[in-house]
Structure 1
Amino acid sequence: MNKKEMLGAGFQLTRGRHGEDPFYSSAKARRANQRIDQLRRAQSDVSNGRSADSKESVVGSISRECENESASQKLVPELVSETSPSSSSNLERFLESVTPSVPAQYLSKTSLRERKADEDKRVPYFVLGDIWESFAEWSAYGTGVPLVLTNKDRVSDLAARFPELKTLRSCDLLPSSWFSVAWYPIYKIPTGPTLKDLDACFLTYHSLHTPFGGPGSAQPMSLVEPKESEEMSLPVFGLASYKFRGSVWTETGGSENQLVNSLFQAADKWLRSCHEAEMAESKVVVPESVLKKRKREEEWALEKKQNAEAAKKKNAENRKLIFKRAEQYSKEYADKEKELISLKREAKLKGGFYVDPEAKLLFIIRIRGINAIDPKTKKILQLLRLRQIFNGVFLKVNKATMNMLRRVEPYVTYGFPNLKSVKELIYKRGYGKLNHQRIALTDNSIVEQALGKHGIICTEDLIHEILTVGPHFKEANNFLWPFQLKAPLGGLKKKRNHYVEGGDAGNRENFINELIRRMN
């Protein structure tokens, strides 16, 4: 709430009290200020040598005159206190004036057995609706200025929209309930440079809670009608100010300065405690397991992000290397083909024949099942990883492998694959063995992850290593899962007979490439 107050010439800060006219007359205020000046002059004369009796007489007569005129007019708020103006500082009079008084009501504790009200244990409380009336706002020109919130809602309108606000009792509120009032001057009469100290603005803090009973006083309540003269005040427990000048508000210093400092510290401590309480309430207690899970997920997310960034950077570097190697392999294959053609032409010109070097690579395909198979043959087929019909594998040519093939020759067919056959098999039906799983070769990263330590980082490297039977042929061939081919287009002729006898089994040398085309 904002409170607009007028600062009089006597440095007394007043407010409209409950039950008085909320309008203000500047002419009446000037007459009242003149009487205040007379009262001060009388006080000064008394301090210069007059007797205590004459002092009380003058002060009493002037005070009664002011009170009579105020009572007859009933338009000007009470400006003269019962005590002498010099008995308290302006700050004390300000705190006394801004302390609201509200009608007190009582709830008595009733015994469960006797159902009898005990008047000695009455607990006072007030209704929030009375606070609105205790802060009647008025301007210097006698025109009522209603309080406005958010430029459209008046306090009365707000109370009408939410009637339960007016009926709330202070004893039902939490101990931390509070309200504050802003006090600031809007006019200075008379005006002048000597009154610049009256620009001070204040923010007073009041409590909305009245304690009720003890921890074990949960008993039925009965309403006790209050007396008309009984009121309860809501004193200031904290103070904040702007443009505060001690020369005007704390004339005597000492105790007044201590009072100001204590009020400032109380307001600061109260606001800090309220903020800490709100922060504590806003914090939700999270189980330790959830916190550990969050931390673990954050670490995983960070690690995943870092790995993705590292992989992206590495892929960018590998892409250039892969392109360069593919170009190098293509040139190597072309040069080898040209060399073979030139050697054959040279031999033909000399009237001879060029004999191709012995092949280093074999491709074996199983063409028969397990019916009527002896244990030794079955074991050899298992060693060759040919466990199903139409399975195919690459194999290095040596004496041991050729002896094994002779023993299982009725169940397999094999030959020497060329570059085209190797590429088509790996690109179309290639699967890799990674972490004991069969994974399709859809990305170079799969090859790099399994064979990167051997310098094989892409599919072209794998094809080159298999075709040329390089130094890491064993690792590369073991990485490749056995090829699962389809039944040959057109079928097999006589798989029980050897290839040289018009059948399908046994060695067919370079003609294996034609069978691979039909089965791939």
Structure 2
Amino acid sequence: MAAISLRRHSNLQCFLDSTTPSVMSHSLLKTSIRDLNNLWEPTGQSVVEYFNLADLWSLYHEWSAYGAGVPILFPGGETVLQYYVPYLSAIQIYTTKPLAELRAVGEDSESDSLSDDSEIERMSRSWDATSEDSAFDQDHSLLMNRLGSLYFHYVERCPPWGRIPLMDKVTTLSQSFPGLMSFKSTDLSPASWMSIAWYPIYHIPARRNAKDLSSSFLTFHTISSSFQENLTLGSDENICCSPVKNFGKRSKDTSNSISLPPFGLATYKMHGNLWINSDTGDHAKITNLYSSANSWLKQLRVHHHDFNFFITHAM
């Protein structure tokens, strides 16, 4: 039985499961209406599940202070609990409401909000200097028109040793951009996303040769309600942590929560013999997640410093 469990175990899946946030969900009754010659007529009601951004960030409070514990199983059967500290690597928040409307209700002021036009123009100028594909530029212009209003854009450029943990960073940024704490996931357009950089800090019990545990990860997550039902961590729920059941693994089997599994992934110094298990489909998983992240960044024309570093220094 032990051999079967080891063969079906995936340390990569363990990492993804152990670092996936599961946010308290709320229900919103939404009424659909249609316009009949300027006479608004209700057509039906539906329940929409959403989460508060403040609740999402609170999940990273303990991880930011002590690290997220990930059980790593070695080929000989030894298990080590490796801790990773999360850093905010990048984030874009597009709202479903015009920024002018948000300002009208006191959400923003002129001094503490990004202009969606000026930010999009700045991003486009930086990419126009490196791209001469006019067809791609036209497609991008059409895409940008569907994204919504860009409320906030941030990309971390400091080296890992110069960063502050995610919760501290978000708290600091929210002083100028209060929507980081006040928005609901239903306020955000499907283009809203974030990426988290995970760096190892310590492991229990200590190992003399910790080279295999020096891997770092970059995960990409949607933070809009629109995509939640289409994202899953994998089809085999028994792959992760099967030999070490419930050892350092947060339970996500709650009906009143919304899980935010990564839609994209990049790795740094990930040694395949420890992390990748061909019996569990890890090769296809990591290829698909990398391709999704790469495609997402290209469509939004985002210069992602950490992603570029990870893919050029993978080993």
Shorter-chain TM-score: which interval?
Answer: 0.3 to 0.5
Normalising by the residue count of structure 2, what TM-score does the alignment of the two structures yield? 0.48
Q: Which has the higher contact order (CA 8 A, sep 6+)?
A: 2
More helix by percentage = 1
Question: TM-score, normalising length from structure 1?
Answer: 0.30
